[in-house]
Amino acid sequence: MKKIFIVEDDRSIVSELEALLIHAGYAVEVLKDFQNALEEILRVLPDLILLDINIPYLNGEVLLQNLRKVSNIPVIMVTSRASEVDEVLSMSYGADDYITKPYNPTILLLRIQAVLKRSEKVLDVVSFKDVVVYLQKGMIKKGDIEVYLTKNEMIIFNYLLNHQNVIVTRDELMTDLWNNNEYINDNALTVNISRLRAKLKEVGLGEVIETRKGMGYFLS
Amino acid sequence: MRMRDYFQDKLGLLALSLASLLLIVLICLAFKVSGEAIWAISCLYLLTFVALFCFSFFKKKKFYTDFLQNIERLDKKYYILETLSMPNFYEGKILYDGLYVINKAMIEHVKNYELQMEDFKEYIEMWIHEVKIPLATLALMFHNHNEYDKKVLEQLRRIESYLDQVLYYVRQEFAEKDYLIKENLLAKMVNSVLVKNKDDFLENQIALEVKNLDFSVFTDSKWMTFILNQIINNSVKYMDETKEKKIVIFGSEDDSSIYLHIRDNGIGIPLQDIPKVFEKSFTGENGRKRSKSTGMGLYISKKLCEKLGHKIWLESKEHEYTEVIVAFAKNDFYQVVKSS
């Protein structure tokens, strides 16, 4: 389980962030001792840090600079200061992404996922059960049977693959599609999912995408 | 400064001199001074008067002519004092010194307001950032606990949009260097605005067509996404409920510029309102009919565009469409910066 470290001094936002991230399947630790922020981070060694700029003692940008001298842990700056200058500064200090408050929770999760993915080895080929998935080519293969997925179907399948064993809401899928420049509506999403199911059935993966009524989908 | 006007102004002085000349002549006659002597005295007297008159006129002429001309020519009239040298006659000095004191007092007065404005601007900016924190918390709370009340999130997004409007209004009005121009991809900026407004589009069943946006332009991406957000919010707000709602976003280019078009098939803008839509607080017929309009969005957008060096305008036909176009100039200088 990926561990995310929250550096933020507003108590209520911390507890909500914590709930959001835990629900999304991450382990969460929160910074309590702002005076020794850097030591605390190095002790916890998280996979990713959500860093606010306006924090007590050292501000977030300075903390980031200090951190970068000793570590490459991915950092997403989360702040209400929304100017290009702040963003460019943060990026030049070594932040991996920059999000301004108030953020859409689904988008925040997507950005976290994207940064985590970038810090890992990018996999082009993954396997699911006894089926091989070629992400770049948009193809799934079982033995001699090759089935090509459209871009939309691939985005949906990829998102489900990355979130196995948790419920994925329609909104999450929709946000991911929109993020990838596919501006489709509700009906089109439904159509895409049923097409994806049909194609998965061709390679012997019938019924792997379950519908949880009123909640979303579940890949098992 | 004209001789005739100056002469007219000094008519009283002339009358007084003539009266005193008359008195002198009368006294001379009483003392039985010879006629030739009286003539000589009179001529001398008049000559002296003319000489004195001319001397004082030309002495002042240069100063006042400069004064009037420079006032006429100056764009910022209050810099008049900087353009004049200290005059060498008494009244001129009084005027000069007076102007100096007045100027100084005014500068202090204006400076005072400037400082107050600056304080106010900083306070507003800070306040907006503070308000965004509970707003973010609320969005998270609703996401975590109320299994997606999209309507609540939608309202939060509206508050955020209005907050941004104030923020950018304050920034464009009082800040000169609050932006940073660098290379940005049109597609990326458009995408971030569309994703942000996703729920709005889905809720209102608006179809999107996005094409040909692989251009990179020099702009401040934060300002530009704000502007795009305003334009798109307007499109969503003024949709025609009787039609299949649609927004088309595309790029184009010619030799001089790259253009971003945002075209909707909404209710359009009445012909007489089109020239005024970018004016401050203008709401027009549509704004009055649909009530929730501050008339600030497009005004701020235009101001920001001017600061960034972009052009923005719109074309529209009532009941058919509205198309907003932003033009990014292609500049050779940018190319040099890019390649270096």
Q: For a pLDDT cut of 90, what percent of chain B falls above it?
A: 32
Of A91, A119, A147, the residue at which a domain comes to its end is: A119
Q: How would residue A215 be classed by pLDDT, with cut points 50, 70 and 90?
A: confident
Task: Say if residue B261's pLDDT is above 90.
Answer: yes
* Residue from B121, B126, B140, B218 whose CB has the most chain A CBs within 10 Å, to mutate: B140
Q: Which residues of A touch B220 (CB under 8 A)?
A: 84
Quote the pLDDT of residue A100: 86
Q: Which residues of B touch A181 (CB under 8 A)?
A: 187, 191, 210
Asked if the C-beta of B307 comes within 8 angstroms of chain A's C-beta atoms, the answer is no
Residues whose CB is less than 8 angstroms from the CB of residue A34 and which lie 6 or more positions away in sequence, other chains included: A9, A55, A56, A57, A58
Same domain, A46 and A153: no
Q: How close, in Å, is residue B266 to chain A by CA atoms?
A: 19
Give the amino acid at A99: I
Q: Which residue has the tokens 């090509």?
A: A148
Task: Say if residue B78's pLDDT is above 60.
Answer: yes
Peptide bond before residue A56 is cis, with ω within 30 degrees of 0: no
Segment B94-148, tens digit of pLDDT: 999 999 999 999 999 999 998 998 888 889 888 998 898 888 888 888 888 766 6
State the residue range of the domain holding A50: 3-119
Task: Say if residue A49's pLDDT is above 60.
Answer: yes
Window from B56-70, B173-187, B240-254, B258-272 with minimum mean pLDDT: B173-187
Q: How close, in Å, is residue B220 to chain A by CA atoms?
A: 7
Beta-carbon separation of B137 and A185 below 8 A? no
Over residues B202-211, the mean pLDDT reads 90
- B160 close to B195: Cβ distance less than 8 angstroms: no
Asked if the C-beta of B214 comes within 8 angstroms of chain A's C-beta atoms, the answer is no
Asked if the C-beta of A11 comes within 8 angstroms of chain B's C-beta atoms, the answer is no
Domain total of chain A: 2
Nearest to B144 among A16, A54, A186 (CB): A16
Residues 40-99 of A with CB under 8 A from B: 54, 80-85, 87-88
- Which helix (DSSP H) or strand (DSSP E) does residue B324 occupy? strand B321-329
Quote the pLDDT of residue B169: 87
Quote the pLDDT of residue A138: 86
Asked if the C-beta of B201 comes within 8 angstroms of chain A's C-beta atoms, the answer is yes
Give the residue from chain A lying closest to B153, CA to CA. Answer: A104
Beta-carbon separation of A84 and B220 below 8 A? yes
* Residue from B198, B203, B210, B213 whose CB has the most chain A CBs within 10 Å, to mutate: B198
Of A58, A87, A119, the residue at which a domain comes to its end is: A119
Quote the pLDDT of residue B335: 59
Q: How would residue B191 be classed by pLDDT, with cut points 50, 70 and 90?
A: very high
DSSP state, residue A150: P
Segment A186-198, tens digit of pLDDT: 899 999 999 999 9
**What are the domain boundaries of chain B?**
3-85, 109-178, 182-339
Give the amino acid at B264: D
Over residues A118-140, the mean pLDDT reads 81
Q: How close, in Å, is residue A58 to chain B by CA atoms?
A: 19
Measured torsion, CA atoms of residues A131, A134, A137, A142, in degrees rounded to the nearest 10: -20
- B49 close to B17: Cβ distance less than 8 angstroms: yes
Asked if the C-beta of B156 comes within 8 angstroms of chain A's C-beta atoms, the answer is yes
Quote the pLDDT of residue B251: 94
Q: For a pLDDT cut of 70, what percent of chain A falls above it?
A: 99
Residue B45 CA, distance from chain mean position: 60
Three-class secondary structure of residue B39 per DSSP: helix
- A102 close to B164: Cβ distance less than 8 angstroms: no
Give the amino acid at A51: L
- B336 close to B288: Cβ distance less than 8 angstroms: no
Beta-carbon separation of A104 and B139 below 8 A? yes
Give the residue from chain B lying closest to A24, CA to CA. Answer: B144
Give the residue from chain B lying closest to A176, CA to CA. Answer: B195
Quote the pLDDT of residue B209: 92
Asked if the C-beta of A119 comes within 8 angstroms of chain B's C-beta atoms, the answer is no
CATH 3.30.479.30 fits B182-339, yes or no: no
Asked if the C-beta of A17 comes within 8 angstroms of chain B's C-beta atoms, the answer is yes
Quote the pLDDT of residue A177: 92
Task: Say if residue B20's pLDDT is above 60.
Answer: yes
Q: How close, in Å, is residue A144 to chain B by CA atoms?
A: 37
Quote the pLDDT of residue B141: 86
Q: How would residue A90 be classed by pLDDT, with cut points 50, 70 and 90?
A: confident
Per-residue tokens: A142: 């079982």
Over residues A20-43, the mean pLDDT reads 87
Same domain, A177 and A191: yes
Sign of CA pseudo-dihedral B205, B187, B156, B160: negative
Nearest to B137 among A16, A82, A171 (CB): A16
Of A101, A119, A137, the residue at which a domain comes to its end is: A119
Mean pLDDT of chain B: 87
Three-class secondary structure of residue A94 per DSSP: coil
| CA–CA dist B323, B35 (Å, integer) | 95
Same domain, A154 and A209: yes
| CA–CA dist B252, B250 (Å, integer) | 7
Per-residue tokens: B196: 């942000």
Nearest to B160 among A85, A102, A171 (CB): A102
Task: Say if residue B29's pLDDT is above 80.
Answer: yes
| CA–CA dist B213, B209 (Å, integer) | 11
Give the residue from chain A lying closest to B177, CA to CA. Answer: A85
Measured torsion, CA atoms of residues B300, B257, B239, B243, in degrees rounded to the nearest 10: 170
Asked if the C-beta of B84 comes within 8 angstroms of chain A's C-beta atoms, the answer is no
- Can you list the alpha helix ranges (DSSP code H) found in chain B? 3-9, 11-30, 35-73, 80-83, 90-145, 150-174, 186-196, 198-203, 221-237, 284-290, 297-308, 332-339
| CA–CA dist B229, A175 (Å, integer) | 17
For every residue of B56-113, DSSP letters joined together read: HHHHHHHHHHHHHHHHHH-SSGGGHHHH-PPPSSHHHHHHHHHHHHHHHHHHHHHHHH
Over residues A63-82, the mean pLDDT reads 87
Nearest to A84 among B196, B208, B222 (CB): B222
- Report if pTM > 0.80: no
CATH code: domain of residue A113? 3.40.50.2300
Beta-carbon separation of B140 and A19 below 8 A? yes
Beta-carbon separation of A83 and B196 below 8 A? no
Give the amino acid at A52: D
Q: How close, in Å, is residue A42 to chain B by CA atoms?
A: 27
Asked if the C-beta of A170 comes within 8 angstroms of chain B's C-beta atoms, the answer is no
Nearest to A179 among B133, B195, B221 (CB): B195
Same domain, A23 and A73: yes
Beta A167-168 vs B182-185: how paired, if at all?
A: unpaired
Q: Widest CA span of chain A, in angstroms? A: 61
Quote the pLDDT of residue B1: 74
Same domain, A101 and A179: no
Residues whose CB is less than 8 angstroms from the CB of residue A189 and which lie 6 or more positions away in sequence, other chains included: A156, A170, A173, A174, A177
Task: Say if residue B231's pLDDT is above 90.
Answer: yes
* Beta bridge partners of residue B246, listed in sequence order: B207
Q: How would residue A38 be classed by pLDDT, with cut points 50, 70 and 90?
A: confident
